[in-house]
Structure 1
């Protein structure tokens, strides 16, 4: 599927622009997945088939209008018409990376094109085997990008190194990954809320696929990808959301580590990221979820803002998807274990929510067959190539999901606490990786 951006004018719905996703090929006939903007603000995604000789813009507009008119459809979120936000605060952007200099260069180019008025980019080179990352930063980005070396493997450890090395005059620390391309307005949209809300501890933003060129990428996006929808949301521990009985333990609904920012003092006050969580450790993930819950549990608010957009390059192969499915499950229970180890006072609140939590876990990991291939198990890539329902609506849980991946997620959930324990044991005898 081609990936594109369609921008419409609010006044009359006319097309302002249509272009491929950053770095993507020109649009033509075939399947298209598009971000729809209204006056520049992201409001929805839509898919369609562009016929030979058909105008892609018109095809997408028709599909978008049909989506709006469908029975039971939810209208796209209206663009924010509130007064302009205060000037975004000074920010350090941390990018942790390991031996992916080519992808890193693409990400850094997009970060240096941000419209934010006052920021620095810091690359954390995590347990490098070569000098490729250091050479890239010093030769191509010398004077524009800062560099820090972290010898211990693990994403949380690398993020903590970034927090420690961040500009102490910068009240906000933002994080993204080396496999994204940031929208030019990303950092301003992500950090401006801190200037407007002194009680805000964390912000997250929208993550969309930069490419959908393989069945694995399409299936991941169908499973929800990393996006959390197009409606701004505020999570306040003083006023828990009525529709989320598991709050704040459903941290996966808040956002993802490829697009997040923290008030630096709030993050440091809770000890930063738990170094026994995250990619690169036996826990496999959960470092971002741990930080979200710790900041909320400390009384700070968290805001999700879809105007803060990054385009993520999903992994391409079936094995990558298998690894991600297992890692998602492991990271979920590993972060919950970390929370209870680091903050035992939260145990009673978690125990009360265990029954609903188990039901929620079963729902989000359930096998869903492809209706177009009733009776099929959708366990191999040959079947995936014929899927007709992807990408699905984010959070709808109506997309196909193979039984093999469902099992892997659930196995990961069983493994997560053990993985966290292994990571804790591995960290003993060395530095903790926590922020100062």
Structure 2
């Protein structure tokens, strides 16, 4: 067995989708990472399980040599569901152990009324190959009325503009934001967008064809909804770093739809609304355009590409709730995310998560000072909660197939230490970033500097 800097190397998992209701029984197909690739072979398989087209669970299993992969994975899925249908088990975010929520929650993604005109904003910087993969999946959406806007953030070359203009032409709009930072790029997208709803995703995802319809349907059903988020699953589990991240939670938030209403705070979340990480992630989110503009968009001193290193999505979630709007998590809105592949990527990610968390809390205080008393009351429990999360990762192991149990492949302690160091650095990073962007107008303000867009 090969070893890595973080322990024994688990076997690659083939990412697949399993439809338990296929016309000829269970149908297993390759996941989004290799469209049109070879048939699923034997070995370790990570599968999204669907019932009547809807995501309901994920399973991990080993396909024995000579056995039909669809049969092996279907048997594991049915055993997990207990033979009682898709509502048998509660949700859990760990790799291979996600299960569905109640049927009424799964109905939340069904369109009710006309779907709103939607703008999909993709911020990118010098990753044309990944961007093309994402745009191809976005152009295949079944939503009846949408546009795609690519925001080129502080580009060093013309690669992104060339890709958009030569390959996609009028099907994709191009905009440039010269100030670096994900929040700045997203704000430029808000200025360019013409949709009543603005959806955001990343250049390293593959969107399920039903993603945009499911993500925007709640806005048609609920005029008071300000934000919707969706399910993020791994597009590939090829390297140890990718498997480690996903086995300890990844980006998934489970298969049960949830609604957050500031008028009726959830009784089981005493830190609400400061636990914004439970609401969703920036690779899969949408906002009612008017609500997003009313809160001033994303804080430009947050996000990847700034000293704050993250937190732009968390800040927006909390700001929308503070403004009185509801937020809904909709697991039928699915994107497949290409996790970073190397150990150094994972180390950077751990530090950035910690920094982004405290940077976003600093941003909330700076821009919503009236929330200071509530935040101070929650701070001791919040710090204890953060320590518990990292301590749990230290103690827990990843149940990875191929004989790697908890004792063999735990979450490395030095990643938890990096995350804590990031938490200490977040407020300082936010202060530095805020000084850099001080005085810049909002892109949709009439005084905004001119920008190139197509």
Measure the CA separation in 2 of the matches of 1:16 and 1:56. 10
Give, in whole Å, the separation in 2 of the partners of 1:103 and 1:28. Answer: 26
- Matching residue of 2:93: none
| CA pair 370-248 structure 1, distance change in 2 beyond 3 A | closer
Tell me if the contact between 2:15 and 2:47 (Cα under 8 Å) persists in the aligned partners.
Answer: yes
Which stretch has the larger CA shift, 284-293 or 346-355? 346-355
How far is the alpha carbon of 1:62 from its aligned partner?
1.9
- CA pair 123-52 structure 1, distance change in 2 beyond 3 A: same
**Offset of 1:340 from its aligned partner?**
0.2
Alpha-carbon shift at residue 358 of structure 1 (Å): 1.2
Cα distance between partner residues in 1 of 2:268 and 2:207:
31
Task: Decide whether aligned partners of structure 1 residues 113 and 371 sit closer, same or farther in structure 2, where only a CA change above 3 A counts.
Answer: closer
- Deviation for aligned residue 1:427: 1.9
2:166 is equivalent to residue 157 of structure 1 = no
| 3-state SS, counterpart of residue 365 of structure 2 | helix
Tell me the residue number matched to 1:394: none
What is the CA-CA distance between 1:312 and the residue it aligns to? 0.4
- With 22-31 and 326-335 compared, the bigger mean Cα shift is at 22-31
> Could you tell me which residue of structure 2 aligns to residue 206 of structure 1?
231
Aligned counterpart, 1:422 = 432
Residues 354-363 or 171-180, more deviating: 354-363
Aligned with 1:241 (options 245, 259, 266)? 266
Matched residue count: 413
Match runs of 1:394-433 below 5 Å: 400-428=410-438, 431-433=440-442
Residue correspondence of structure 1 range 217-228 to structure 2 within 5 A: 217-228=242-253
Determine if the alignment matches structure 1 residue 17 to structure 2 residue 27.
yes
Is the 1:275–1:432 contact (alpha carbons within 8 Å) kept by the matching residues of 2? no
SS of the residue corresponding to residue 206 of structure 1 reads: strand
Aligned to 1:377: none
Over 3 Å counting, the alpha-carbon distance change for 1:153 and 1:370 in structure 2 is same
Q: TM-score, normalised by structure 2?
A: 0.87
Matched, 1:140 2:153: no
Query: Cα RMSD (Å) of the superposition?
Result: 2.4
Aligned pairs (5 A) from 1:31-430 = 31-69=44-82, 73-74=89-90, 76-78=100-102, 80-81=106-107, 84-167=111-194, 170-366=195-391, 367-369=393-395, 387-388=404-405, 400-428=410-438
Using a 3 Å threshold, how does the CA distance of structure 1 residues 435 and 290 change in structure 2: closer, same or farther? farther
Q: Provide Cα deviations, 1:101-159, integer angstroms capped at 9, x if missing partner.
A: 00000000000000000000000000000000000000001010000000010000000
Question: Do the aligned partners of residues 370 and 92 (structure 1) sit closer, same or farther apart at CA in structure 2, a change above 3 Å counting?
Answer: closer
Contact 1:333 1:416 in 2 (8 A): yes
* SS of residue in 2 equivalent to 1:365: helix
Rounded to whole Å, the distance in 1 between the matches of 2:148 and 2:29 is 27
In the alignment, structure 1 segments of 5+ residues that lack a partner are 374-382, 391-398
The 3-state SS of whatever aligns with 1:142 is: helix
C-alpha deviation, 1:17, in angstroms: 2.3
Cα distance, 1:352 vs. partner?
A: 1.1
1:73-92 CA deviation, whole Å, 9 max, x = no partner?
Answer: 53633553577522210001
Give the whole-Å Cα distance in 1 for the aligned partners of 2:396 and 2:276.
28
**1:27-62 CA distances to partner (integer Å, 9 max, x unpaired)?**
111111111111100011110011111111111122
> 3-state SS of the aligned residue for 2:170?
coil
Alpha-carbon distance change, 427 to 415 in structure 1, aligned in 2, over 3 angstroms: same
Deviations 1:189-219 (A, max 9, x none): 0011111100000000000000000000001
1:67 Cα deviation (Å)? 2.4
Cα pair distance change 1:433/1:126, threshold 3 Å = farther
Q: Which moved more, 1:151-160 or 1:217-226?
A: 217-226
Per mean C-alpha deviation after superposition, the further-off stretch among 364-373 and 173-182 is: 364-373
* C-alpha displacement of 1:341: 0.1
Residue 394 of structure 2 aligns to a residue in which SS? coil
Instruction: Give the C-alpha shift of residue 434 in structure 1.
Output: 5.8
Give a deviation string over 1:302-349, Cα, whole Å, max 9, x none. Answer: 000000000000000000000000000000000000000000001111
| Conservation of the 8 A alpha-carbon contact between 1:42 and 1:307 | yes
1:76–1:408 CA distance, 2 compared to 1 (3 A)? same
Separation in 1 of the partners of 2:226 and 2:426?
Answer: 27
CA spacing shift, 1:370–1:84, aligned 2, 3 Å: closer
TM-score, normalised to structure 1, is 0.90
For the residue of structure 2 that corresponds to 1:401, the secondary structure is: coil
Unmatched 5+ stretches in structure 2:
1-12, 91-98, 446-454
For residue 385 of structure 1, report the CA deviation from its aligned partner: 10
